[in-house]
Amino acid sequence: MRFDEKYMEPAERLHGPTTVRWMFFHLKDNLGQQANVSSYKNNNDGILVKVLKEIPLGDLRPNETVQASQEAQLLSQLHHPAIITFYSSFLHRDSFCIITEYCEDRDLDCRLEEVREAGQSLPETQVTDWLIQMLLGLHYMHNRRILHRDLKAKNIFLKRNIVKIGEFHCSRGPWELCMFV
């Protein structure tokens, strides 16, 4: 499938207040932990499945805490089909939490590993489609004078074969990986 906005479904949005409270986010699956940042998937009880990323504030230096908040602010301003959708951020106990969309097809690194292990290769048209999607997302960001600086297969997510650029930081310092130019 070629990437074109006419193929995209409307942006998924939360209904009701935009502030999400921890108690309403029913956690289901731990998606993993990387550098002291835990990610969880909520259960699909009739609401849109989302990811909650929990960043322990005790593990951050004061400037990194500010930068974590700036990452959430930055994500809240990016609205493009090839960029992970941001829903909310909040403080809970000693953690800074960010809620984003869930990409059920995992990341590009996992997909490439699956193909490699199966002794197969991706069709050229698929690679071209993903590359175009990534370039459109990067073009959108660069037009807003934003650099990602940690673009790699692990930070590119797949949702119904649509590329989603995510992870606008390096989990635990240096938070400067996403910056304004």
Q: State the alpha helices, DSSP H only, in the chain.
A: 62-77, 108-117, 124-143
> Is 150 an active-site residue?
yes
3-state secondary structure string across the chain:
CCCCHHHCCCCCCCCCCCCCCHHHCCEEEEEEEECCEEEEEECCCCCCCEEEEEEEHHHCCHHHHHHHHHHHHHHHHCCCCCECCEEEEEEECCEEEEEEECCCCCEHHHHHHHHHHCCCCCCHHHHHHHHHHHHHHHHHHHHCCEECCCCCHHHEEEECCEEEECCCCCCCCCHHHCEEC
Catalytic site residue from 59, 105, 109, 150:
150
Which residues are annotated as catalytic?
Answer: 150
